[in-house]
Amino acid sequence: MQNSIVLYVVGAIVIVAAGAGIWMYSGKTNSMETSIGDTNTQIQRTSLKGLLADARPQKCTFTMSSANSNSSGTVYISNGKMRGDFVSNAAGHTQSSHMIVEGGASYMWSDEMAQGFKMSFDAMSNTSMNSQEQGTVDPNADTDYSCNPWVADESVFAVPTNITFQDMSAIAPPGAAGASGGTSVSGSAEQCAACDQASNEGTRAQCKAALQCK
């Protein structure tokens, strides 16, 4: 069940967890510092989880491209908190999505839906799928980030009050699916109905396909 829920997040809000092998972060990053004027820009090849493990306040940007999609984003990190604002384009459709990580919980939503999702940040490591084929932002894959020091603004990490967040852990208790991420089950009627909130027909179809809605 946990995997199908995250698949729903992929289809509905464009934020995806990759395979467990990609997720595991050793705590080391390859970095190169360059000086641009008075600003030190650090190029890091790491994952969003790697950035989150770094306590320094930073503002990082990235771009990713494949044959079928391209993605870009801005990530803010400070003292164990993170916010990511992402734009993804696949099959001619552009989607904007967001994620806030605070206290070990991930809050995920998109501009196309009034409902978002909350789940454990670490629980995302129990899924396996190819995010590049989905045309989504993968918060677990190693990517080249361009980072600069940032004067932390706590308001950036405020969870929006105009979005209703559904707690995924209440639907799928930990251990409902194996760590290999191979199990897939059909979504509940409630989850499938939530797909209809997406304003774009393609997003609705992708969401329902991911959940195997009948």
Task: Please report, for the chain, the start and end positions of each structural domain, with discontinuous segments joined by +.
Answer: 2-211
Q: With beta carbons less than 8 A apart as the criterion, state whether 25 and 53 touch.
A: yes
pLDDT digits (tens, 9 = 90+) for 193-207: 767 766 566 666 666
pLDDT digits (tens, 9 = 90+) for 64-100: 888 888 888 899 999 989 999 988 887 788 888 899 9
Q: With beta carbons less than 8 A apart as the criterion, state whether 188 and 13 touch.
A: no
Chain centroid to Cα 9, Å, comes to 9
Whole-Å CA distances, 151 to 32, 57, 159? 21, 7, 19
Question: What confidence score (pLDDT) does residue 151 get?
Answer: 94
- Rounded to two decimals, the pTM is 0.65
The position carrying tokens 């870009």 is: 72
End-to-end CA distance of the chain: 16
Distance, in Å, from the CA atom of 146 to the CA atom of 142, rounded to the nearest integer, reads 13
Q: What is the pLDDT along the chain (214 residues), one digit of tens a residue?
A: 444 444 444 444 433 332 222 222 333 444 444 444 446 788 888 887 888 888 789 999 988 888 888 888 899 999 989 999 988 887 788 888 899 999 888 898 988 888 888 888 776 554 444 444 444 445 677 888 899 999 999 999 999 999 999 887 765 444 444 433 443 444 567 667 767 766 566 666 666 665 667 7
Q: With beta carbons less than 8 A apart as the criterion, state whether 61 and 145 touch.
A: yes
- Of 82, 168, 75, 158, residue with least CA distance to 127: 168
Distance, in Å, from the CA atom of 138 to the CA atom of 37, rounded to the nearest integer, reads 31
Q: With beta carbons less than 8 A apart as the criterion, state whether 139 and 48 touch.
A: yes
The alpha carbons of the chain give a radius of gyration, in whole angstroms, of 17
